Amino acid sequence: PAPRTVLLTGAAGGLGTLMRELLPQYGYELRLFDMRPVGGAPDAVVGDLGDRNAVREAVRGVDAVVHLAGISLEASFDKILKANIEGTYNLYEAAREEGVRRIVFASSNHAVGYTPRPQGDDPLIPIDTPRRPDTFYGLSKCFGEDLAQLYWDKHGVETVSVRIGSCFPEPTSVRMLSVWMSPADGARLFHAALTAEGVGHTVVYGSSANTRLWWDLGSARALGYEPEDDSEIFAERLLAEQGELDPADPAHACLGGNFVTNPPVWPH
């Protein structure tokens, strides 16, 4: 049966805020979890991924988890280790203990950020391209994908790992014309990831059907995802403001953009 109650971790964050608006229309009842209070949601559970009891209580009784919580930019290895590596382990272990069968894991394009971006007639980047993390942050997403594989093979916990591009209301850079995932397409993709049958551990790229797309959405479409948006409607304005990406600029040469050269740093 399709999952009904879903734990949304990271509910106070940017993507969590978008998804708690958009996912209920698919019929889910959301339980919200974050280390920060979730605005307008007094029932949300305030807890840290490092607190194993809190995480176990949060997953108890839900049908599935959409796991967004964690450090979403570059940080010291010690911070990443605690929040993203140990925190994601705690979440998976709690899911195993509580019998939760399906997790949608917010991976990131930064797991493969050093991959040269396609230019001209180059083929799209396949989903099985070798991992090339561009930061400790991207490395933690590689860990999360491998953890998901282990929990499927060993414990039968299913995961769809979504290598999200950039999910924001609108693209704000020329790079984002290629990697943008509209919030509505994000909800479509998470819904497909929650309901597709027999996913085992499946890795997909998460973006809209952008004209300037860099990667292959085949494994996402195989889940039943049908993107409806294309960033191209923003192209004229962004190109007029910023110009085309310069292939000689290292910050424009790879999928990860400036995470390769000068990554934005987690402010907390």
Closer residue to ligand 15L (CB): 195 or 261: 261
Q: How many residues bind ligand 15L (CB under 6 A)?
A: 6
- Among the residue ranges 30-38, 149-157, 195-203, 215-223, the one whose residues contact ligand NAI (CB under 6 A): 30-38
The answer to whether the beta carbons of residues 84 and 144 sit under 8 Å apart is yes
Neighbour-count burial of 77, counting CB atoms closer than 10 A to its CB (0-12 exposed, 13-18 middle, 19+ buried): exposed
Cα–Cα distance between 164 and 178 in angstroms, integer?
Answer: 12
**Beta strand segments in 109-227, E:** 158-164, 201-206
What's the rounded Cα separation, in Å, for the pair 256 and 248? 15
Residue 12 near ligand NAI by CB under 6 A: yes
The binder of 224, among ligand NAI, ligand 15L, none, by C-beta within 5 to 8 A per type, is none
Closest among 170, 199, 203 to 185, alpha carbons compared: 170
Near ligand NAI by CB under 6 A: residue from 23, 28, 32, 34: 34
- Distance spanning both ends of the chain, measured CA to CA: 40
- How many beta carbons lie within 10 A of that of residue 42, not counting itself? 7
> Cα-Cα-Cα-Cα dihedral of 144, 148, 151, 156, to 10°?
160
CA distances from 138 to 36, 110, 145, 163 (A): 23, 5, 11, 10
Query: Is position 115 an interface residue for ligand 15L (rule: CB under 6 A)?
Result: no
Query: Does 137 qualify as catalytic in the annotation?
Result: yes
Q: Tell me which of 148, 164, 196, 260 binds ligand NAI, using CB under 6 A.
A: 164
| Interacting partner of 139 out of ligand NAI, ligand 15L, none (Cβ under 5 to 8 A depending on kind) | none
Contact flag: residue 110 with ligand 15L (CB under 6 A): yes
Q: Residue from 10, 49, 72, 186 that binds ligand 15L (CB under 6 A)? A: 72
Report the alpha-carbon distance of residue 248 to residue 119 in Å, rounded: 12
Per-residue x/- track, 53-82, ligand NAI (CB under 6 A):
---------------xxxxx----------
Kindly write out the interface string for residues 106-135 of this chain, putting x where it contacts ligand NAI by CB under 6 A and - elsewhere: x-x---------------------------
Q: Is 264 in the site for ligand NAI (CB under 6 A)?
A: no
Task: Choose, from 137, 151, 205, 225, the residue flagged as catalytic.
Answer: 137
Is residue 257 close enough to count as binding ligand NAI by CB under 6 A?
no
Positions marked active-site = 137
- Chain contacts with ligand 15L (rule: CB under 6 A): 72-73, 108-110, 166
